[in-house]
Structure 1
Amino acid sequence: MNFKSLSLFSISFIALCFTVASATNFDIRNNCPHTIWAAAFPGGGRELSKGGVWNLKVSPGTTGARISGRNNCTFDKVGRGRCQTGDCGGLLQCRAYGAAPNTLAEFSLNQFNNLDISLIEGFNVPIEFSPTSGGCSRGIRCTTDIIGQCPKELKAPGGCNNPCTVYKTDQYCCNSGNCGPTDLSRFFKARCPDAYSYPKDNQTSTLICPSGTNYRVVFCP
């Protein structure tokens, strides 16, 4: 290996080490009494039996990311199949967002990390999203039995739909960018005040933590 090649190798190695060191760690845990198929975009997916843990590293600068749980899945040996809720294109290793209804832990990793729990695509599993390091101590959660209390018009197999999914109107989906809470969005907000219940519900629903903070996502906390 000549000096030029060695220098390029050294630079690449240092850059790789820096990237790994700067990655944010997400400790994803299943405390449900049944199996959950965790989904992450980016990140893929993992089958988690009761008590199972998935340590996921996410690169700095990642935006529009989400972690969610899938229920009642069956996959073959190559990872193709289907889930009753949260299905992401019939794949164990998700390459896109999952289908509603699914409870979402959303995040963007920038100079400051923006985090939220979203019910804008409905609810299928209780979830907690909390920091485990850094100068951020408050977590957010949605743990009420929303499925058991779900309004008849929003019920779905294994979950509870957001009204936007069911009615697809501007009133519920905020397509024009000008909308407020509705009786149905208030149903979600009353039971999970930490979570987004409709698209403009951002005044009290976003958690901001400093860059470098690591996190834990727990299903059925």
Structure 2
Amino acid sequence: MAPSHLALKFLLLSLIIKGVFGTTFTFSNKCDYTVWPGILGTPALATTGFELAEGKSRSLQAPAGWSGRFWGRTRCSFDGFGHGSCATGDCGSGQVECNGAGAAPPATLAEFTLGSGSGTQDFYDVSLVDGYNIQMIVDVSGGSGGCGTTGCVDDLNRRCPGELRVADGGGCRSACETFGTPEYCCKDAFDSPAACRPTPYSELFKSACPKSYSYAYDDATSTFTCTGADEYTIVFCPSIHSGSIKTKASNMSEDSLNALLDLYASLASGSQTIRSPCLFNVMFAFAIYVVALLHTSLLSYNL
């Protein structure tokens, strides 16, 4: 048989296999603690929640057309029968399995809508609209049409404004969840892309995690597409090249860098600590500059 015919048959076989078995989702825990991934989607996958120890991975198959979300639950306590709860991202089932329930905010979410068949696009994003509780990225293997890495490698819990902080610093709520007003929740008169604009809180999230959704209409820089991806890897606590942030921030010490990031969080949340408008503007601009340097950190993680 001619080589070209063999190649064509192999391609057709690959497409058939992908149509039957769907897309692989692999969860990788690079945190120095256990994470309990939660899963909500249609149709239901083989599990809706499980324990993922430090350094471990687990893969699941999803059929074509699957739509749903993943998140990491933290600070969980389950007994020998799998009964218990989590401090952040808890799904309220009282079990390791979420059984069709979603994450209680705040929770970092990885959202997917897989294409319905060969040649159709997958849509995916990492969202902070429901707040933040854990560093997470989505990496893609195979496919065409963009297929970019997205997510949040910065630890927002370390610079979360006090009024948004929950779970003893283990989570950072969204402004909508905290205040419930239309301008923060993009509802009522603000329920349109033109009316609902970024706020100081969503801008703080966006500065730390430039490829993640920071508010409801943050589509332009936050939605990704891929056609024919073989695998999506959801990585909890992706590591950053040692010293990369410090080098980009003029070799600042870690304490100095953290102080500037805390200042940025304070200024972005409207703190009145600095009375002079001129000094406020100078310090705010400098803080933005330093945080902007962190944007490239998403491109320099180690898997």
Q: TM-score normalised by the shorter chain: which range applies? A: 0.7 to 0.9
Provide the residue aligned with 1:182 in structure 2: 199
TM-fit CA distance, 1:197: 0.3
For the residue of structure 2 that corresponds to 1:134, the secondary structure is strand
The AA in structure 2 aligned to 1:59 is: P
- Any stretches of 5+ residues in structure 2 without a counterpart? 1-15, 239-303
Higher RCO (CA-CA < 8 Å; seq separation 6+): 1
1:165 corresponds to which of 153, 166, 177: 177
Structure having the higher helix fraction is 2
* Aligned equivalents of 1:169, 1:199: Cα separation in 2: 14
Provide the residue aligned with 1:53 in structure 2: 57
* Aligned equivalents of 1:84, 1:103: Cα separation in 2: 14
Structure having the higher strand fraction is 1
Q: Contact 1:109/1:211 (CA < 8 Å) preserved in 2?
A: no
1:74 corresponds to which of 66, 74, 77: 77
TM-fit CA distance, 1:70: 0.6
Structure 1 residues 169 and 185 mapped into 2: Cα distance closer, same or farther (>3 Å)? same
Provide the residue aligned with 1:144 in structure 2: 154
The AA in structure 1 aligned to 2:72 is: G
Structure 1 length-normalised TM:
0.87
TM-fit CA distance, 1:48: 0.9
Q: Contact 1:133/1:215 (CA < 8 Å) preserved in 2?
A: no
- Any stretches of 5+ residues in structure 1 without a counterpart? 1-16
TM-fit CA distance, 1:34: 0.6
Q: Contact 2:176/2:185 (CA < 8 Å) preserved in 1?
A: yes
Q: Contact 2:19/2:64 (CA < 8 Å) preserved in 1?
A: no
TM-fit CA distance, 1:188: 0.1
Q: Contact 1:24/1:60 (CA < 8 Å) preserved in 2?
A: yes
The percentage of aligned residue pairs carrying the same residue is: 38
For the residue of structure 2 that corresponds to 1:185, the secondary structure is helix
Provide the residue aligned with 2:233 in structure 1: 216
1:120 counterpart = 2:123 = no
Root mean square deviation of aligned Cα: 1.6
**Higher Rg:** 2
Provide the residue aligned with 2:24 in structure 1: 25
